[in-house]
Structure 1
Amino acid sequence: MMDLLRRFPLPVIVLAQLFGTSLWFSVNGVWLSLARELGLTETDLGRLTLAVQAGFIVGTLTIAVTGLADRFGASRIFAVSSLLGALVNGGFVFAAGLPPLDFLLRFATGLCLAGIYPLGMKMVIAWVPKYAGAALAWLVGMLTLGTALPHLMRGATLGMAWEWPLIAASCLALAGGAMVFLLGDGPHLPKSSGRLPLSQGLAALQIPRFRAVAGGYFGHMWELYAFWTLTPLLIGRELQRLGQGEALVPWLAFAVIGIGAAGCVGGGRLSRTVGSERVARGALMVSGLVCLLYPWLSGLPPVFLMALLLVWGIAVITDSPQFSALAAATAPRETVGSSLAVMNAVGFGLTLPAIWLTSGLWHQLEVWVVLILVPGPVLGLWSLSRGKG
């Protein structure tokens, strides 16, 4: 079994990433059922989503500061994180609607995800260093598909209790962790440089080119997770205008978020000919334009708006792996891991106010709330324009 897995390391890592990141939006996938049965509101949705983001930020910074990933094998951290993530995600079944326990469990889920997503990147470098760029696009694509997966699972279990999709996500995480544990660490594992203090990661921000790329990434992150949080609400609005019930919401939410995986892979291929910066700039421009125009077009036929959401779903994530590739190329080689960890932590930190504002104001503003996200792409494009590339 181990020999078979090691013959195809990249598919194993990519599939494990998909399974592990299904924990990220597992609660969002069953949100309509939770709101109906437990009386939770859009504000509660934002609160629980924020908990995952905050946990991920704390976990990522902990790894960056302590050098945890250098002390232990990446495959072991990935496997343990998947196991613990599956347990705390399953525990939410008993804590739903019971604050602050529900918040704490989602925070713990975010902590575990910090041992899955970033460690998947390190494993790719350890196993297939020659194809790290293309593999990074696949990994972000699987993060996107993993984020969408709970919506698909809810769509497939609509006649069942909302607990089942959560349990299914936990089972997938366990399977992903087992696959990576059996695969083990690759033969090309980067040499450890010991404990890297946070200041070394921050030092990259003194480089103008890295700072410009990081600024583009920060603008992208302001928009990304808030849009994913709003997706079922935006789709529900259009289905209501069509006189349809809630049954199609999870299927369409999966389509809008999941289609971004194709954008990541396609953008990775395109970057080979036009360069990562042009791909990132183009995707950020398209997503920003859709974000700006969407509320002004909200009176158009619902089918048109749902098609526009698909375009937004592609553009909003296509630039993400390209920003990571650009940052890795411009950061100091001796601190590239720490620099990327700090950039990711700041980027995910910016998702907190964006999610809090949009989910909290949805009841008052509805579709117009997306205008809060417009400054992200605008400032991201401005930052990129200041860098020489």
Structure 2
Amino acid sequence: MKTKFSTHKWVLPIIIFSQFCCTSLWFAGNAITDDLIAFFNLNSESLGYISSSVQFGFIIGTFIFAVFTLSDRFSPSRVFFICALLGAAFNLGILYSNNTIFTLLIFRFLTGFCLAGIYPVGMKIAADHFEKGLGKSLSFLIAALVLGTAFPYLIQSFEFNLKWETVIWTTSTLALIGGFLIVILVPNGPYQKLADTFDMSKIINVFKKPSFRSAAFGYFGHMWELYAFWTFVPILLIMHSELHNASLNVPLYSFIVIASGTVSCILGGFISHKLGIKKTAILALTISGLCCLLSPVFFMVSSTPLFITFLIIWGMAVIADSPLFSTLVAQNCEVQSIGTALTIVNCIGFSITIVSIQLLNFLITTNHLSQYAFMTLALGPIIGLIYLKKT
């Protein structure tokens, strides 16, 4: 029989690597939007629609997972595996030569739906294995999500004349690898307590606790900013290069800016041990909110290195609090409800991202507002900070 200690040594790295592999599906469409626009003759507003369709699929998926309390009633490793396989298959749907904007959005929606069984379920698996040090475990796990999200941009940045289809094949293959690793090598955790019956009331009951509401609404404010920023990082870079006649490898710098959050997630996990989880989340949310407000100033700065540095700082701050909020959510609900709590909070949080992405899409396409568009993202950190300081 394996001891808990020996199990822990290899379980966390596998969960982290699998999360990275599977979440590479998330921005696979975003990274090749220009190629999709050219290949399928789409309009220039497709980026916002393609990104939002993934988010919408994730929202519907997390809602269904939460309503039926799936990750609290069934083996989360098996749920993760099934969703990874289906997500990889739907991602490959982008390769269908007769795609229209409608079919592309359907495939991205279904991919997002499957991600609902990957991202929050991956956190549930970690919570089942690590009762102590959960914050640090989730910081590594969400760092893997960040790297997976940024990875398609890295593939696209190589000057090897790679076809856009390579991004799709690579991300789907990674998702398959991640799914098989979880189901074969990660058993049910020692702290897992599966619910005996379907209990829809869990969705409402978790919000009755003030400390849970504080963590949840802090997370909602964080989400207003996060995916809108990630979605439009390439547009920010393009706008800067066009305004100041700078030559940039946009996919490469998009990867660097988004992937910088990998480092901050891990750092945030260590810093929270000294400052406390809540105080560290407040610090990160404050910095990212200031970046939103200062964005017009740095957008006008002609120095490209300074502008990139600003974006990297923003990219680090915007995600550093995510594992901290997930930890607070998991710690402030019953053990039998962790999966449902994480899933419903994700559902609401990602619903908010639809609004902020579409708002930013509208403001950016309105030329005289594009310079100030990102200031609207500060609304999320402001609201999040208000709720965090209530308890």
User: TM-score per shorter chain, which class?
Assistant: over 0.9
Amino acid at match of 1:291: C
Partner of 2:182: 180
Which aligned pairs between 1:1-389 and structure 2 lie closer than 5 A? 8-94=10-96, 98-156=100-158, 159-245=161-247, 248-301=249-302, 302-364=304-366, 365-387=369-391
Query: Is the CA contact (8 Å cut-off) linking 1:66 and 1:196 kept in structure 2?
Result: yes
SS at match of 1:355: helix
CA distance in 2: counterparts of 1:256 and 1:293, whole angstroms:
17
Query: Is the CA contact (8 Å cut-off) linking 1:196 and 1:338 kept in structure 2?
Result: no
**Distance verdict in 2 for CA 1:385–1:128, change over 3 Å:** closer
- Aligned pairs, number: 383
Q: Displacement, 1:96? A: 7.7
SS at match of 1:259: helix
SS at match of 1:193: coil
CA distance in 1: counterparts of 2:180 and 2:339, whole angstroms:
25
Q: Deviations over 1:113-143 (max 9, x none)?
A: 1111122112223334443221111111111
Q: Displacement, 1:268? A: 0.3
Farther-moved stretch of structure 1 (180-189 vs 370-379): 180-189
Query: Is the CA contact (8 Å cut-off) linking 1:5 and 1:12 kept in structure 2?
Result: no
Query: Is the CA contact (8 Å cut-off) linking 1:125 and 1:188 kept in structure 2?
Result: no
Query: Is the CA contact (8 Å cut-off) linking 2:130 and 2:191 kept in structure 1?
Result: no
CA distance in 2: counterparts of 1:43 and 1:163, whole angstroms:
21
Amino acid at match of 1:265: I
**Distance verdict in 2 for CA 1:184–1:385, change over 3 Å:** closer
Q: Deviations over 1:172-217 (max 9, x none)?
A: 1111112112214234151212334343222222222222221111
Q: Displacement, 1:265? A: 0.5
Q: Displacement, 1:333? A: 4.3
Partner of 2:3: none
Amino acid at match of 2:377: L
Farther-moved stretch of structure 1 (129-138 vs 280-289): 129-138
Q: Displacement, 1:41? A: 4.1
Gaps of 5+ in 1: none
Query: Is the CA contact (8 Å cut-off) linking 1:85 and 1:109 kept in structure 2?
Result: yes
TM-score, length-scaled by structure 2: 0.92
**Distance verdict in 2 for CA 1:283–1:189, change over 3 Å:** same
**Distance verdict in 2 for CA 1:334–1:162, change over 3 Å:** closer
Farther-moved stretch of structure 1 (150-159 vs 283-292): 150-159
CA distance in 2: counterparts of 1:82 and 1:328, whole angstroms:
23
**Distance verdict in 2 for CA 1:54–1:363, change over 3 Å:** same
CA distance in 1: counterparts of 2:278 and 2:349, whole angstroms:
18
Q: Deviations over 1:63-113 (max 9, x none)?
A: 222132244322222112111111110111216860311111111001111
**Distance verdict in 2 for CA 1:94–1:371, change over 3 Å:** same
Farther-moved stretch of structure 1 (189-198 vs 311-320): 189-198
Farther-moved stretch of structure 1 (90-99 vs 44-53): 90-99
**Distance verdict in 2 for CA 1:95–1:324, change over 3 Å:** farther
Amino acid at match of 1:63: F
Farther-moved stretch of structure 1 (95-104 vs 115-124): 95-104
Query: Is the CA contact (8 Å cut-off) linking 2:206 and 2:333 kept in structure 1?
Result: yes
TM-score, length-scaled by structure 1: 0.92
CA distance in 2: counterparts of 1:276 and 1:257, whole angstroms:
23
Q: Displacement, 1:349? A: 0.8
Question: Between the two proteins, what is the percent identity of the paired residues?
Answer: 37
RMSD: 2.1
**Distance verdict in 2 for CA 1:210–1:75, change over 3 Å:** closer
SS at match of 1:191: coil
Amino acid at match of 2:239: R
**Distance verdict in 2 for CA 1:7–1:314, change over 3 Å:** closer
Q: Displacement, 1:334? A: 4.5
Gaps of 5+ in 2: 1-5
Query: Is the CA contact (8 Å cut-off) linking 1:213 and 1:384 kept in structure 2?
Result: yes
SS at match of 2:133: helix
Q: Displacement, 1:18? A: 0.2
**Distance verdict in 2 for CA 1:145–1:42, change over 3 Å:** farther
Farther-moved stretch of structure 1 (104-113 vs 298-307): 298-307
